[in-house]
Chain A
Amino acid sequence: MKTRILYVDDEADIREVAAMSLELDPGFEVRTAASGAEALQIASEWKPELILLDVMMPGMDGPTTFFHLREGVETAAITVVFITARTQAQEVEGFKALGAKGVIAKPFDPMSLAATVRGYLRE
């Protein structure tokens, strides 16, 4: 049974790089979403184990999407990790205070992204 990971980002190229990077781990099954709205839809049907959520997106941004995920019965328990450009200690604390498992900095290292996600799943 493969672990389901959902990657959410409005940039198509980044989604492709991220998917390829996550699929380096043979135990992952990866889907992507181009917006917060799409993410909510896929999440409630497909029920991923972990969602990687970009912070700055047009329309519904990362934190708002996260808020809606928490509201949905099927999606409330999914682990969420934010992806954002450069992280300072306070910003990280802020996201964690919202309930996120962690924060990954952009640009991320594509060769270690899968391992980082494994780490979050184990916690």
Chain B
Amino acid sequence: MLTNGIETLLLLLLLVAAWIIRRSMAAYRAAAEDIRDLSARQEAIFDAATDGMITHDPQGIIESLNPAAARMYGYEREELVGQSIGILFKRPPKQEDLEAFLSDLAGNPGNGAARIQEFGGKRRDGSMFTVDVATSPVPLHDGLHFIAVLRDVTERRRVEQMKTEFVSTVSHELRTPLTSIAGSLGLLAGGAAGELPARAAALIKIAHSNSERLVRLINDILDIEKIESGKMKFDIKPVPLAPVIEQVIQANLAYAEEYGVSFRFEGADETAVALADSDRLMQVLTNLLSNAAKFSPRGEEVLITLVPGSSSHRITVADKGSGIPEEFRNRIFSKFAQADASDTREKGGTGLGLSIVQQIVNGLGGNISFESEEGRGATFHVDLPAAAVPRAPAKRARILVCQEDAAAADEIKRSLRQAGFDSDVAGSSEEVRVLAARNAYAAILLDLSLPGEEAISLIGHLRSDPRYASAPILIAASDGSGDISQALAVVDWIHKPVSISKLVEGIGEAVAPGEHPCILHIEDDPDVLRVVASAFDGHAHVHSVVDITSARVALKATHYDLIILDLALPGGSGLELLPEMRREDGSPIPVVIFSAQDDDPALARQVEAVLTKSKASLNDLVATVETLLANPRPRLRKEGR
């Protein structure tokens, strides 16, 4: 019983195994057939291709080749297998050069496109021909191989050469008789052969102008041919546009006069410099201007405008002629297209002008466009890429540093020099006055450890010097331990009581028209606030606050260009706010400080005391100088006062 069961089981297993084997064998056969088909297909391509194909190894030894390659070089296939590809070259490369080229190719396969090069090929019989070779690396499981696809381009090169010669021959052959024709007629028309009878003169004039037209036509045709075959080379350099435009206008004045048309140029801007070929640009502008003159009614003017831009500059030529008809709009830049056939004879053009203009402008990396309404004239725009204008290098700024402590002074000098500033050191307020008078400084750094009232009157003195009326004046404090405080930019330090109206008048006059600085006025006397606010009305936006708290809120909420601060405020001293008078980037907001006269000696001490609490580094100080020099600020005192 048991054995029967086992036998059945075994039989079953056998049947399943057989079935599995049959299936996998069928799959294997199918796969093998697919591979054979693929292989046969590729072999068919290889054999039937008209381009030569050669496979070789990294040393250049030929592994296989197709019949086309064999035919191209005049060999039997078997003769080349195992040979070096070098024997196929007119000038066989050195082995190391060949291997280097191939390994470089293998390393940089390029984005799918093979590298194509032109070589001189040598046939079995020694004859030479020109061949284009495209080589690609083929990594297979048995190593790296290369396939070279070859095309005999002898015929193509010969035709191109013939064409180039033809064009330059035609150019010479056409121009030679034309030189004689135009030359003779020119001499006759110019009176070189004496005065001509009226009828003869008229006929000569016709012949002469048409011979000139022929010359233009030949030039245009040759230009088009050069551009289209890619042989026109542009000599691209930065070209200032305004002088070029003026030159072209000059050159075409006589032509325009014949049509009773005048030219007007607007927008001469010497900063408009474009990257272009000046000769070709003049050719473009001449064409546009002469077209505009030709199609303008008598007595009208042609307007040329130059509008500089940031990345490109635009030249516009506008005429008030009959405009460009709707149907013609999309043909305008095509060859030999003129609005209607009759125009050709009437207007004396070649029909190629705009086509050349468009090709040249595009070749210069620019763009040409136009607007026109029938009966209302036409406007052409030429956009050219702007050249980056090199900025003139800034002169080294000179800073006056007032610092009693020699060591500190040296450190400041060194930091300033690293930032590109030259500096002079004054050890006392007297020296500051002397040096400031003798030299011109871009900014002044005052250390508040100067004896009391001197700092304040020094600032007043400096501000009344027209050279320093708006120079950045920074006050900083060093606490003797070598540390330095953050600098405060003081616009002015004014003693009270001063004739408010006089002061306000001075401030009001001095704020530059057009600039609308935002001013924070911190003052507890409402009359003063009112007077100052109305004095600035229209010149600046004044925000008035009466105490420290609201001042703090205001400072946090808004960006101010200037602060007017009365030091004597209720509930504290305006001094407390000094460290907070900074912009987001840390640079100080310029301050006009009001203080009562009799507090003076102690005041500077007080200011100093406040400042030293806000520590800063020399780098900060230098950075502050840099920022203030880079950003011009509103002036407060009129010069000479």
Contact A14 B279 (CB under 8 A): no
Question: Of B175, B192, B277, B279, which is within 8 A of A107 by CB?
Answer: B175
Distance from A114 Cβ to chain B, minimum over Cβ atoms (Å): 10
Contacts of A24 in B (CB 8 A): 192
Distance from A33 Cβ to chain B, minimum over Cβ atoms (Å): 17
Q: Which residue of B lies closest to A12 (CB)?
A: B180
Give bound CA distance, A20 to B191, whole Å.
12
Contact B187 A111 (CB under 8 A): yes
- Does A89 sit at the interface, judged by CB under 8 A? yes
Contact B187 A89 (CB under 8 A): no
Distance from B277 Cβ to chain A, minimum over Cβ atoms (Å): 7
Contacts of B187 in A (CB 8 A): 17, 20-21, 110-111
- Does A109 sit at the interface, judged by CB under 8 A? yes
Contacts of B192 in A (CB 8 A): 20-21, 24, 110-111
Contact A110 B279 (CB under 8 A): no
- Does B374 sit at the interface, judged by CB under 8 A? no
Contact B222 A90 (CB under 8 A): no
Distance from B191 Cβ to chain A, minimum over Cβ atoms (Å): 9
Contact A56 B186 (CB under 8 A): no
Q: Which residue of A lies closest to B237 (CB)?
A: A89
Interface string of B26-70 (1 = CB under 8 A from A): 000000000000000000000000000000000000000000000
| B205-253 interface (Cβ within 8 A of A) | 215, 219, 222, 233, 235
Contacts of B219 in A (CB 8 A): 86
Distance from A26 Cβ to chain B, minimum over Cβ atoms (Å): 13
Q: Which of A85, A88, A89 has the most CB of B within 10 A?
A: A85
- Does A18 sit at the interface, judged by CB under 8 A? yes
- Does B482 sit at the interface, judged by CB under 8 A? no
- Does A108 sit at the interface, judged by CB under 8 A? yes
Give bound CA distance, A21 to B219, whole Å.
23
| A79-117 interface (Cβ within 8 A of B) | 85-86, 88-90, 106-111
Contact B172 A108 (CB under 8 A): no
Distance from B175 Cβ to chain A, minimum over Cβ atoms (Å): 5
Distance from A121 Cβ to chain B, minimum over Cβ atoms (Å): 21
| A1-52 interface (Cβ within 8 A of B) | 11, 13-14, 16-18, 20-21, 24
**Chain B interface residue count, Cβ-Cβ cutoff 8 angstroms:** 23
Question: Of B179, B184, B279, which is within 8 A of A108 by CB?
Answer: B179
Contact A17 B277 (CB under 8 A): no
Contacts A21-B192, A85-B172, A89-B279; is A14 near B179 (CB within 8 Å)? yes
- Does B451 sit at the interface, judged by CB under 8 A? no
- Does B577 sit at the interface, judged by CB under 8 A? no
Contacts of B481 in A (CB 8 A): none
Contacts A17-B187, A56-B172; is A86 near B222 (CB within 8 Å)? yes
Question: Of B176, B177, B178, B183, which is within 8 A of A110 by CB?
Answer: B183
Give bound CA distance, A18 to B180, whole Å.
9
Question: Of B171, B180, B279, which is within 8 A of A17 by CB?
Answer: B180
Contacts A86-B222, A107-B178; is A17 near B183 (CB within 8 Å)? yes
Distance from A73 Cβ to chain B, minimum over Cβ atoms (Å): 33
Give bound CA distance, A94 to B187, whole Å.
31
Distance from B306 Cβ to chain A, minimum over Cβ atoms (Å): 23
Contacts of B186 in A (CB 8 A): 109-111
- Does B607 sit at the interface, judged by CB under 8 A? no
Contact B175 A85 (CB under 8 A): yes
Distance from A117 Cβ to chain B, minimum over Cβ atoms (Å): 15
Contact A106 B179 (CB under 8 A): yes
Contact A107 B179 (CB under 8 A): yes
Contacts of B184 in A (CB 8 A): 13, 17, 110
- Does B348 sit at the interface, judged by CB under 8 A? no
Contact A90 B233 (CB under 8 A): yes
Contacts of A88 in B (CB 8 A): 233, 235, 279
Distance from A58 Cβ to chain B, minimum over Cβ atoms (Å): 11
Distance from A82 Cβ to chain B, minimum over Cβ atoms (Å): 14
Q: Which residue of B lies closest to A20 (CB)?
A: B187
Give bound CA distance, A14 to B183, whole Å.
8
Contacts of B233 in A (CB 8 A): 88, 90
Contact B180 A11 (CB under 8 A): yes
Contact A18 B183 (CB under 8 A): yes
Contact A107 B172 (CB under 8 A): no
Give bound CA distance, A111 to B190, whole Å.
7
Interface string of B143-185 (1 = CB under 8 A from A): 0000000000000000000000000000110011111101110
26 contacts between A and B (CB under 8 A): A11-B176, A13-B184, A14-B180, A17-B183, A17-B187, A18-B183, A20-B192, A24-B192, A56-B172, A85-B171, A85-B175, A86-B219, A88-B233, A88-B279, A89-B277, A90-B233, A90-B235, A107-B175, A107-B178, A107-B179, A107-B182, A107-B183, A107-B215, A110-B182, A111-B187, A111-B192
Closest 9 CB pairs of A and B: A17-B183, A13-B180, A107-B179, A111-B190, A110-B186, A110-B183, A85-B175, A107-B182, A110-B187
Contacts A17-B179, A85-B172, A111-B187 supplied; 8 other A-B pairs, CB < 8 Å: A11-B180, A13-B180, A14-B179, A17-B180, A86-B222, A106-B175, A107-B178, A107-B215
